[in-house]
Chain A
Amino acid sequence: MGKRIGMEVAIAVAEAVGLCDIDMAAVYPITPQSHIAEHLSDLVANGEIDAEFVTVESEHSAMSAVIGASGAGARAFTATSSQGLMLMHELLPIASAMRLPICMAIANRAVSGPLNILNDHTDIMPQRDCGWIALFVENGQEAIDLSIQAFKIAEHKDVMLPVCVNIDGFQLTHMVEPFEMPSKEEVDKFLPPFVPHATLHPAKPVTMGAFAMSDYFTEIMKAKDEALKSSKKVILEVWDEWAKLFGRSYKPVETYKADDADVLMLTMGSMGETAQMAIDELRAKGVKAGLVKLRMWRPFPFEEIKAAIKNAKKLIVTDRAITFGGPGGPVFAEIKSAMCTETQRPLIYNYIYGLGGRDVPVGDFVGMFEKVLADTENKAVGTYEFWGVRE
């Protein structure tokens, strides 16, 4: 049986990854991810896990090294944040095109400039189209659970794609939280050994990362898209199995008091728990407010999101990143495009908030609801606003 413990979330993520019989990790330090790198190093140094920890000289080399190791047939892990993720960017679509089941923890942090070490989602959003499975967590327990599930999802023969688990930097990584850590036996039961399709070994020589021109390129892109879309089925199966083994269930879209809600808010990541408190406050005042939490960013869960929001009158999409000069926040753009062909859909608003670690207390979420409810003429529908910005 797993045990109840209290621990810093970043360290717990390293512990969880350590339960997964990884063969290799290459992690370059960056705030607020570094505790994952440090604790994994500890686990290797103390012989608690039998893996190579490669102390690379950059995140670019971290991703390159895990690609090499994964190509060799090793279960490989890395972690990063912000600028480190941006430095890895070039290699992310290569890892997915090569169908390598690499797992990565991202301690989400604002991207420069100006330099800022605190949390938002401006690092992961530019990676959206790289062909990775991208999942978000709301608390430490989810960070642990998804870090373990990630290997099973990535390595499934019908998936064979890299997975990133997004864990809000500081807000989550540096919190000491109570949670249940699965035991090694439980993880061994859940996670079978990695059986790669092909490896870089002289026993059976293969060519990986070949050069392809226009006669094959489109087909390879289509294959990647199909693989990513069909990975949803496997993710749902893995979550079902997890629920049976551990009693904690996961869904692509979670809801809170959303069924009868007139006005909904949509969050992604750790803000969900604060927003939930705002919902309770509003409900106490008689406002039929509800919350929708998006866990699965890629593949995007169109059906689940439509089902969760279609009955509301208004929907507030919150974003922790912006597509400059574009439609507003990236989540907003996604939800709008998902709903544009639906006959029954809410009026959609967008608030961009919590950038560069700016605190968003419960009152701010209540304020967003109040502002949207006060817009009786629907003037702000379809627009975006930087919440709380000083102008």
Chain B
Amino acid sequence: MSIVENFDLFAPRLINRKELLSSGHRACSGCGEVLAVRLMCKALGENTVIAAATGCMEIISSMFPTTAWRVPWIHVAFENTAAVASGVEAGLKALRRKGKIDDRYVKVVGMAGDGGTMDIGMQALSGAMERGHDMIFVCFDNEAYMNTGIQRSSGTPMGASTTTAPAGKVSSGQKTWKKNMAEIMVAHGIPYVATVCPSYPLDFIRKMEKAKSIKGPSYIHCFSMCPTGWRSPSHTAISMGRLAVETGVFPLFEVEDGHYRVSPDMPKKLRPIRDYFKPQGRFRHLKDDEIDKIQERVNIEYKKLTEKAKFLKTGN
């Protein structure tokens, strides 16, 4: 936290001071996602073209005739962002090769929420990654369809209450485990996959810069705190991101050419998930045994990750 508080002291050497996502956008107060997008823009810099999916980040930033974007930006529809980005990449590549535009390297980035990435957008994403376009795809995962009113997605964690998987007399909210999108991307054999959280800005920026440096497809899965949808106070967004990481609910790691590395920000010993669940209204209904069951799963998943990091580290 101290780094963010003393931004002016430490940041100029570490972080691009230029704001490519301007203030004045329409995001909710305490939005973790828009903070993540801002950090992403800082890491990527001006030579970037963004293709965005329909969703919160699109409607809060592009209300005609205004725009919050200081980089070229395109929105077409909900499910096709990766395909649009792949078209932009192919178009720019041809135009540059044929001498029709500046001979400068431009990174194309696709961005979507968990719905636009993991559900309705998964086919287009899989296709774009498999084809090997020189692009980054960033999933801003706030764990439900927040823009349309907190409906469940395949990114919603087990037990969370949403408007289409509500907790009720005979239901404990989401009945399924969260889809492991980062691993699905690893299975595509792309050069770089990483998880990030805006509560860890330096880790975030380092990974984004790494993705930018790679010529080929890379995938970043960004944990995006949503106080509105998670039923938690606005001012707790950053701490909620840290708790998700410290409990192992959302581990930070990266996979480069198949080699796993758990980020140094991960604690030696994970905190109990109760610490993370307690401040959030979406988990309030969960009984002790239900939380225990989820804890068990988090432990297993984290064990799997650390084992992979042990056996599939760089050099092995």
Contacts and interface: CB of A to CB of B under 8 A. Distances in A.
A binds B: yes
Interface of A: 23-24, 26, 50-52, 54-58, 60-62, 64-74, 76, 90-91, 94, 98, 193, 199-203, 205-213, 216
A98 B47 CA distance: 23
Given A74-B95, A203-B102, A91 B62 contact: no
Interface of B: 46-49, 51, 58-59, 62-65, 67, 69-77, 79-80, 82-95, 97-98, 100-102, 104, 106, 123-124, 126-128, 130-131
B127 A58 contact: yes
Contacts of A208: 72-75
Given A52-B94, A74-B94, A202-B106, A68 B69 contact: no
Contact of A65 (B75, B77, B83, B100): B83
A207 B84 contact: no
Contacts, number: 176
21 contacts: A26-B90, A52-B90, A56-B131, A57-B130, A58-B124, A62-B83, A64-B84, A67-B84, A68-B84, A71-B88, A72-B87, A74-B94, A91-B77, A201-B92, A202-B49, A202-B71, A209-B75, A211-B63, A212-B63, A212-B64, A216-B64
Given A61-B123, A208-B74, A210-B63, 10 more contacts: A61-B128, A64-B124, A65-B83, A65-B90, A74-B91, A199-B101, A201-B102, A205-B72, A208-B72, A208-B75
B182 to A, nearest CB: 21
B189 to A, nearest CB: 16
B77 to A, nearest CB: 6
Given A201-B49, A202-B48, A50 B102 contact: no
A67 B87 contact: yes
A69 B71 contact: no
Given A54-B90, A73-B95, A209-B74, A64 B102 contact: no
A302 B189 CA distance: 56
A140 B125 CA distance: 37
Given A54-B131, A57-B123, A91-B80, A68 B91 contact: yes
A125 B93 CA distance: 35
B72 A65 contact: no
B101 to A, nearest CB: 6
A24 B76 contact: no
B92 A60 contact: no
A381 B100 CA distance: 57
Contacts of A67: 76, 84, 87
A72 B49 contact: yes
A101 to B, nearest CB: 13
A282 B49 CA distance: 62
A72 B74 CA distance: 10
A61 B127 contact: yes
Given A55-B131, A73-B101, A201-B101, A65 B87 contact: yes
B83 A56 contact: yes
B63 A23 contact: no
A372 B84 CA distance: 51
Contact of B91 (A52, A55, A94): A52
A91 B74 CA distance: 14
Contacts of A210: 62-65, 67, 75
Interface centre among A60, A70, A74 (most CB of B within 10 A): A74
A26 B87 contact: yes
Nearest to B63: A211
Contacts of B73: 200, 205-208
Given A73-B95, A91-B76, A61 B83 contact: yes
B87 A64 contact: yes
A68 B75 contact: no
A211 B65 CA distance: 9
Nearest to A193: B100
A68 B94 contact: no
B88 A57 contact: no
B65 A216 contact: yes
Nearest to A94: B76
A201 B100 CA distance: 12
A65 B86 contact: yes
A172 B59 CA distance: 45
A68 B72 contact: no
B88 A211 contact: no
Contacts of B64: 210-212, 216
Contacts of A76: 87, 91
A51 B90 CA distance: 9
A69 B91 contact: yes
A205 B69 contact: yes
Contacts of A57: 123-124, 126-127, 130
Nearest to B89: A68
Contacts of B91: 23-24, 52, 68-74, 76
A204 B29 CA distance: 31
A74 B97 CA distance: 12
A97 B50 CA distance: 19
A50 B91 CA distance: 12
A69 B87 contact: yes
A219 B234 CA distance: 37
Interface centre among A67, A94, A210 (most CB of B within 10 A): A210
Nearest to B80: A64
Contacts of A72: 49, 87-88, 91-92, 95
Contacts of A211: 58-59, 62-64, 75
A58 B71 CA distance: 29
Given A54-B90, A201-B49, A90 B77 contact: yes
A81 B64 CA distance: 34
Given A65-B84, A72-B49, A60 B79 contact: yes
Contacts of A94: 76-77
